[in-house]
Amino acid sequence: MLSVKKAQERILASFKPLEGTTIAIEAALGCILSQDIISEIELPSFDNSSVDGFAVRTEDLHLSDANNPVSLLVTADIPAGSVPTVSLGAGQAARIMTGALLPTGADAVVMVEDTDFAHQTAGSSAPDHVKILAKVKKNDYIRKRGSDILTGQKILPAGLKLRPQDIGMLAMLGVPNVPVNKRPRVAIISSGDELVPVNVPLKPGKIHDSNTYMLAALVEILDCEVLQMGVAADRYEDVEILFDRAANFEPDLIISSAGVSVGAHDFIKDVVEASGSLNFWKVDMRPGKPLAFGAFQDIPFFGLPGNPVSSFVNFLVFVEPALRLLKGEKTALRQTTLVTLKEPIESDGRESYLRAQVTHENGRAIATLTGHQGSGNLFSLVQANALLIIPSGVKSCPPGSEVDAWILENH
């Protein structure tokens, strides 16, 4: 039997990040940067005021404070976005707004609250004179050119998953088209004569197809593109048609659910083997069937189990790391967290992924199973916020013992 770790290693060894492309900044959230972002400009790109106030020359103001206000002649009014046309001479000031370019001659800004013009309202024009009521030091309230970012400085690293603040940074740097890794495109195929779509009432013997929708959601959470192929009936030709259709879209990955066990109507194996290759690995894991991994017409392929919880867990254990690697993320495998068991847990000695609710009590993460762990019981997964990972070889864990868990943050 193959350990989960070995199976993951074999899988990851057969994937490499997709090549880079560019995407409009508006669509870049969640994408992975394919290159370092190096600033081509300096920021701020000009000396500017960090407050609404008055641009001044400190040499005029050596003695100024609240008791000895110095009065200056206001010679200009500089709103944000404008270019001052005058330079400050001795005894002169300019009204200036936040973000406005500093006039030449000025070496500090006094905020409006520290002047006798403190109660300016929107639309008010600049006064003829202003009294400075505070001590003023050189460079006060000036954002210096280049003080945040220098030309040539590395700002964002390749491999970063773009967050809202990164999007803002790219805009600030003037990068409308962002170099990112291609988003993996994933074709999803379900199979089984018993499946009906969610909007069709159930008849005897039928069940709603839940994997189609759940697997699509799992793919979307990873910011990958879903190509929904539908449900194949349990006939060789039907399965073949859907696999051919999937291949025509040239996806980066095909995943199917169900139809890969030893049932009399399980044709996925035959179809994939006829146009590619398929390995069935006996993985030391629960829930889990043999893991079906191979290629259909050179497109990597995972055959997930049909039971929804098995499908979900196998996706997280094997498909998600592959997709993360394809996306160019730096870490393909999920992080684990240590949690403390509230109750005893029995296992059959295989590496087990158990549905649990983790709560925080007195600073400790305490785990309780969410009930019946049958591989078709999606309800106990819905009630869980974590999967406990009981290692291979462990058959029982007493209450109070610590085990690794995956916290299902986005799930």
Residues that bind ligand AMP (CB under 6 A): 190, 192, 194-195, 207, 209-212, 257-259, 261, 263, 305-308, 376
Of the two residues 95 and 269, which places its CB atom closer to Mg ion in the complex? 269
Burial of 67 (0-12, 13-18, 19+ CB in 10 A): exposed
CB of 306 to Mg ion, least distance (A): 5
Name which of 315, 322, 330 is nearest 299 in CA terms: 322
192 binds Mg ion (CB under 5 A): yes
Residue 136 · residue 110 · CB < 8 Å: yes
- Among ligand AMP, Mg ion, none, residue 190 binds (CB under 5-8 Å by kind): ligand AMP
231 binds Mg ion (CB under 5 A): no
Strand runs (DSSP E) across 175-334, as ranges? 177-181, 185-191, 195-196, 207-208, 225-232, 253-257, 276-281, 285-286, 291-296, 299-304
Residues paired with residue 109 on neighbouring β-strands, in sequence order:
55
Of the two residues 160 and 196, which places its CB atom closer to ligand AMP in the complex? 196
Of the two residues 197 and 393, which places its CB atom closer to ligand AMP in the complex? 197
Of the two residues 84 and 306, which places its CB atom closer to Mg ion in the complex? 306
CB of 260 to ligand AMP, least distance (A): 6
Of the two residues 36 and 220, which places its CB atom closer to ligand AMP in the complex? 220
Among 142, 258, 384, 397, the residue binding Mg ion under the rule CB under 5 A is 258
- Among ligand AMP, Mg ion, none, residue 207 binds (CB under 5-8 Å by kind): ligand AMP
Reduced to 3 states (helix: H, G, I; strand: E, B; else coil), residue 44 is: coil
DSSP notation for 202-248: --TT-EE--HHHHHHHHHHHTT-EEEEEEEE-SSHHHHHHHHHHHHH
Give the relative orientation of helices 320-327 and 4-13 as an angle to the nearest 10 degrees: 30
- Among ligand AMP, Mg ion, none, residue 328 binds (CB under 5-8 Å by kind): none
CB of 24 to ligand AMP, least distance (A): 35
- Among Mg ion, ligand AMP, none, residue 252 binds (CB under 5-8 Å by kind): none
Site for Mg ion, rule CB under 5 A: 192, 258-259
